[in-house]
């Protein structure tokens, strides 16, 4: 359990737990499809991750830590609710127009922190549904149910993943930078008349082409899963996703520097389509997947820099991990398989994303909290992300309602 790893931290914190100023800020950095062997501090040879290395060099690096599933939606559901996804129907990989899988009446990690006096924010990939019912969302108005109903004071998220429509950011329950001249429609059943697709119009795929599937609606020269029309100025550019998510997260830190905050920072990297900013693209010999890992590390560095500048590093607990194991070719022709050059995304483990083997769920976990962790450590303690809600509730002296987080 994570609580075992934080025993010493709890002891330090307990001396002043009744003083609000002593509550640590908590940041979850949750990578997407980042494997056990994808970080330099876990043995990766073909990519440099200096900012993640900084966390590991002054924190606890776990080598026997596990997500609860080998795919995104169920692992995120379990981590945020403390309930195994297999207990709840409809927690398989969600479409971009899925209704909210975590229901407003459920107790979440954000609820727990909010009840303890924390400001709460969510940034980046969501993939747990929005709105009350699947395929019933009106993307041109405030959504009927969103992250504000799950304990988050502020949110700037992607509805699902970068390879699924709608390709717009959702800010506090409505499309960010909404363009009224281009109303949004979304379908996972059929295309809209006159809208190009990757299957029928490959000449429009000027950024990335699919290797299999991912041949429906085209946004930013990349075809996706699902169909959409409209969006206009609200449509994202893939190369700017990391910059946008990170900038909003840094602003949240600045706004709440004088009070305890909880941040769920879920990157799109290194999920497909991998099309990082030009600052990173073409820089790594593993191609776009290596570039995406470098971009993930940059995002980590931006958060650390913000904490340093505001004097918050010492009492900010950072937990860095991934939602599941790695996948190399996941539907786009980005030459990720051909350019591995000896890199082993899952390390010495068998399997990866979608797999029941250990490589599907064994993930990097690094815990960094300078105020309470006095020296670096490598721990082989068996931990699971399902335990995090209850462990952190203990840390901040929160009470979990009866029946909530049953597996945590």
Bridge partner residues of 263 (DSSP): 27, 121
Report if residue 228 sits inside a domain: no
Residue 22: which pLDDT band, with cuts at 50, 70 and 90? confident
Q: What is the mean pLDDT of the chain?
A: 95
Q: For residue range 102-161, list pLDDT tens digits in order.
A: 999 999 999 999 999 999 999 999 999 999 999 999 999 999 999 999 999 999 999 999
pLDDT > 60? residue 19: no
Do residues 75 and 323 touch, judged by C-beta distance below 8 A? yes
Instruction: Look at the chain and report how many structural domains it folds into.
Output: 1
Q: For residue range 190-203, list pLDDT tens digits in order.
A: 999 999 999 999 99
Q: For residue range 51-102, list pLDDT tens digits in order.
A: 999 999 999 999 999 999 999 999 999 999 999 999 999 999 999 999 999 9
Report if residue 50 sits inside a domain: yes
pLDDT > 60? residue 21: no
**Cα separation of the two ends of the chain:** 9
pLDDT > 90? residue 390: yes
Report if residue 185 sits inside a domain: no
CATH number, position 119 = 3.40.720.10
Report if residue 69 sits inside a domain: yes
Residue 31: which H helix or E strand, with range? Answer: strand 25-31
Report if residue 137 sits inside a domain: yes
Residue 200, CA distances (Å) to 71, 184, 191, 218 in order: 29, 21, 11, 10
Q: For residue range 337-352, list pLDDT tens digits in order.
A: 999 999 999 999 999 9
Do residues 72 and 323 touch, judged by C-beta distance below 8 A? yes
Report if residue 313 sits inside a domain: yes
Report if residue 195 sits inside a domain: no
Euclidean distance between CA atoms 244 and 268, whole angstroms: 11
Residue 253, CA distances (Å) to 153, 242, 304 in order: 13, 17, 11
Report if residue 201 sits inside a domain: no
Which residues have a Cβ under 8 Å from the Cβ of 118 and sit 6 or more positions away?
A: 23, 26, 259, 260, 261, 262, 396
pLDDT > 90? residue 16: no
Q: Which domain holds residue 357?
A: 2-177+238-395
* pLDDT score, position 398: 97
* pLDDT score, position 4: 52
Q: Is 208 exposed, middle or buried (CB count within 10 Å of its CB: 0-12, 13-18, 19+)?
A: buried
Residue 116: which H helix or E strand, with range? Answer: none
Q: Is 298 exposed, middle or buried (CB count within 10 Å of its CB: 0-12, 13-18, 19+)?
A: buried
Name the CA radius of gyration of the chain, rounded: 20
Q: For residue range 146-183, list pLDDT tens digits in order.
A: 999 999 999 999 999 999 999 999 999 999 999 999 99
């Amino acid at each position: 359990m994570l609580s075992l790893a934080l025993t010493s931290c709890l002891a330090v914190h307990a001396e002043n737990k009744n003083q609000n100023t002593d509550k640590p800020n908590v940041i979850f950095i949750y990578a997407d499809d980042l494997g056990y062997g994808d970080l330099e501090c876990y043995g990766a040879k073909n990519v440099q991750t200096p900012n993640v290395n900084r966390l590991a060099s002054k924190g606890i690096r776990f080598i026997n830590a596990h997500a609860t599933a080998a795919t995104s939606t169920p692992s995120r559901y379990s981590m945020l609710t403390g309930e195994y996804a297999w207990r709840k129907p409809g927690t398989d990989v969600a479409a971009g127009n899925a209704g909210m899988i975590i229901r407003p009446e459920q107790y979440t990690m954000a609820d727990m922190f909010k009840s303890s006096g924390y400001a709460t924010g969510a940034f980046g990939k969501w993939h747990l549904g929005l709105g009350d019912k699947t395929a019933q969302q009106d993307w041109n108005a405030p959504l009927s149910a969103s992250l504000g109903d799950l304990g988050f004071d502020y949110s700037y998220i992607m509805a699902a993943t970068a390879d699924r429509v709608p390709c717009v950011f959702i800010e506090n329950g409505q499309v960010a930078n909404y363009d009224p001249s281009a109303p949004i429609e979304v379908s996972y059943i059929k295309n809209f008349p006159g809208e190009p697709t990757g299957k029928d119009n490959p000449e429009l795929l000027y950024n990335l082409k699919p290797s299999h599937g991912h041949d429906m609606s085209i946004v930013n020269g990349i075809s996706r899963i699902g169909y959409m029309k409209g969006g206009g100025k609200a449509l994202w550019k893939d190369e700017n996703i990391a910059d946008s998510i990170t900038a909003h997260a840094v602003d949240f830190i600045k706004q709440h520097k004088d009070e305890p905050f909880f941040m769920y920072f879920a990157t799109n990297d290194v999920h497909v389509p991998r099309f990082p900013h030009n600052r990173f693209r073409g820089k790594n010999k593993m191609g776009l997947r290596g570039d995406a890992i470098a971009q993930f590390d940059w995002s980590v560095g931006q958060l650390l820099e913000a904490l340093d500048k505001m004097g918050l590093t010492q009492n900010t607990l950072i937990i860095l991990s991934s939602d599941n194991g790695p996948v190399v070719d996941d539907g786009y022709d980005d030459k990720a398989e051909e350019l591995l050059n000896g890199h082993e995304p899952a390390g010495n483990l068998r399997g990866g994303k979608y797999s029941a083997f250990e490589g599907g769920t064994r993930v990097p976990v690094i815990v960094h909290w300078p105020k309470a962790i006095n020296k670096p450590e490598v721990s082989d303690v068996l931990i699971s992300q399902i335990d995090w809600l209850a462990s952190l509730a203990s840390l901040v002296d929160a009470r979990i309602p009866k029946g909530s987080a049953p597996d945590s």
